[in-house]
Amino acid sequence: LVAANKGFHEHQTTLFDVGTWVNLGSLIEMMPAEELEHEFGQLGDLKKLKSFQLTGSIHFGQGEVTGDMAMYYDEKLLGDWGGGGLGSELLDAVPEGTMMAISQSMDMEVVKKWFDDRPGIKKDIEEGLQEGIDMSLDEALGAFGGDLVLALTDLDMVPTPWGGSMPQPAILFGATIKDKKKVEKMLAEPMRELERDEDAPVRLVMRDNAFFLCSPEDERDLEKNGAVDDPIAGEKRSLLASNDTGFFLDYKEMERVISKVGGDDEEVEIVLDALDGLGLATLTWNAEAGAQKIQARIKMPKEDENSLKQIIDSAFSAAINVNKRMRRGRGWDGPDQQDW
């Protein structure tokens, strides 16, 4: 099987502690023909689904936990839709202190071909587009460049009309564009709504090569320069720039935000204890003709110690800390110590 099957061979040559390989094509063949047609008929030639395979694995290494997942299928079912990563027009709009971000980079010609090969799905979508904005699917897809980013840049406590306060996220959404007039047509109603609401937590910025939904604090810089004062850099920037899909969660920035909005709350302290020392959590998703491959990684506090041991130690430590806080809350710190 290793010699005859590419997916199984790649799975077996990946370093892992826990792994799985599933030939979904064999399971699909067990489905009755009528049910198969009903569930997947619009995807095209159903024979191509029989090549579908799924692999997954987890490895507890020194200082990090890594995971791999891959999907293999007939390359005629879906070509290489990946765009290769974000350019500076979007990366320079993401602030360095961003807590979490996800990017998507697509080849829009491959996306359009996928819809062309599935006229039933395309027709359903086009009916909605024609009714809503009087535009065909090809026109709508052709208006965009194929790259986008969504980031959680901050979190603030804001007063509410009924008293008290509540957390309000500061977000950034950006997308590359090819036809500014068509994009403005699609966004006409949201633009009017934002213009009417001066207190809206987001602003819309339209440039020649991209548009952004951003916080009021970033609006001026993006309008004037197309970039924020201190854009993302280092490993986080490379992650979004070099992959079809990139995701990161920065635990250090998360600690900063949680501390700011949570104050001295005891439950917040428990969360911060659990996050203490963690680094970046990352995920990448890359496509090729006939396959999609996903890799995830979590950096642990100690680089020279096995990650599974650190997870177990952290879980016991968190349980002990919670127990101690509960005892203090009840005014009891355990039985008196006796002198022997």
More reliable by pLDDT, 31 or 169: 169
Q: Which of 51-55, 88-92, 122-126 has the lowest mean pLDDT?
A: 51-55
d(CA 270, CA 321): 7
Single-letter amino acid code for the residue at 227? A
Q: Are 55 and 11 in contact (CB under 8 A)?
A: yes
Q: Encode pLDDT of 302-332 as tens digits.
A: 889 998 898 888 878 777 777 777 676 665 5
Question: What Cα–Cα distance (Å) separates residue 140 from each residue in 25, 43, 126?
Answer: 34, 21, 10
Q: Which of 288, 292, 308, 289 is nearest to 300 (CA)?
A: 308
Residue 15 has pLDDT above 70, yes or no: yes
More reliable by pLDDT, 197 or 335: 197
Which pLDDT does position 340 carry in this prediction? 47
Q: Encode pLDDT of 112-170 as tens digits.
A: 988 888 888 889 899 988 888 888 999 999 999 999 999 999 887 777 777 777 778 88
Cut 0.85: pTM above it:
no
